[in-house]
Amino acid sequence: MRLAVAYSTRDPVGKSASRLLVELAGGEEAACPGAVECYRLSTGAYLAGFDEDVVELEMIGETPDPGAEAVVVLSRHRAESGRKSLTVHHTGNPGKAAYGGEPGTLSISYPALSRLLLQKYSEKAEEAGIAGEYSIVLEATHHGPTSPGRPLVFIEVGSTPEEWRDTRALRAMAETVLEALKSEPPMCKPAAGFGGTHYPEKFTRIHLEGEYCLGHIIPKYAFQQGVEASVIVQAVEKTYPHPAEVALIEKKSLKSSHKKLIEQVLGNRVEILKV
């Protein structure tokens, strides 16, 4: 699996974790189009920092490595709750575009890669002794960028400046990404998730332990705000290396009208399971 890694030089997590990654992996300075910082790691992967905020990295379809299958983005996570969290998620706007990207548009997800990242993140958090302190979870699909023509997965530390400076969490992130750069994606059936909260615990468990790995997750609140049929289709079709095989509906969180909409839109495209 050939990956590239990107971050924003404005982002304290991306900046710090990138330094640790260079330290752990070894490498040398390089030139990447549009980047203000760039390294070629000893694994062969390119690591690049951009002046734009992470939600605005629409250009990472072409840089830092046009030949990479996918891009992993190192990022801070912010939440009003202040919840300590280590998260992985795909990007896109099921509705309005509040933070980057286009409204009603999803990027390309990579379920097997996000599963690998979350599994490794969980392992590294255990090794660092912070697994009980931080929640290790998938997040629902949210924010930009939405237009890169290849998959991208965000890996994050949250949710306040205190966690963004926590060297234990930052090292767990860097070690996780390094492991991913040296690994192949796990075997699993790619699935799209519908329902649940922003931190969907049931989908997280399935993603870590079950036969299905989750790409896009369209949460309950998105349906309450209004989800177009095109977004439901994108959640299934914008999945790498091929469309999702299964649509998982979190049955307790969605109204019957929302479940019927999903079933009507997807029809015979995929197998539909209620969990």
Q: What is the pLDDT of residues 9-38, one digit of tens each?
A: 999 999 999 999 999 999 999 999 999 999
Q: How far apart are CA 15 and CA 109, in angstroms?
A: 24
AA identity, residue 257? S
Domain carrying residue 239:
189-274
Domain's final residue, options 154, 181, 208: 181
Do 13 and 125 fall into the same domain?
yes
* Same-domain pairing of 143 and 195: no
| Cβ–Cβ < 8 Å for 110, 215 | yes
Q: State mean pLDDT over 252-272.
A: 95
> What own/partner pairs with CB < 8 Å and gap ≥ 24 does 208-214 have?
208/115, 208/118, 208/119, 208/122, 212/188, 212/246, 212/248, 213/111, 213/112, 213/114, 213/115, 213/186, 213/188, 213/189, 214/111, 214/114, 214/115, 214/138, 214/248
Domain boundary among 130, 161, 181: 181
Rg of the chain over CA atoms, in angstroms? 17
pTM above 0.85, yes or no: yes
- Each residue of 165-207: pLDDT tens digit? 999 999 999 999 999 999 999 999 999 999 999 999 999 999 9
- Calculate ∠ Cα 99-190-188, nearest 5°: 130
Q: What is the pLDDT of residues 41-59, one digit of tens each?
A: 999 999 999 999 999 999 9
CATH number of the domain at 225, please: 3.40.50.10700
Q: Are residues 24 and 143 in the same domain?
A: yes
Q: For position 153, which CATH number holds?
A: 3.40.630.50
In the chain, how many domains are there?
2
Give yes or no: residues 116 and 225 share one domain.
no
Last residue of a domain, which of 181, 214, 236? 181
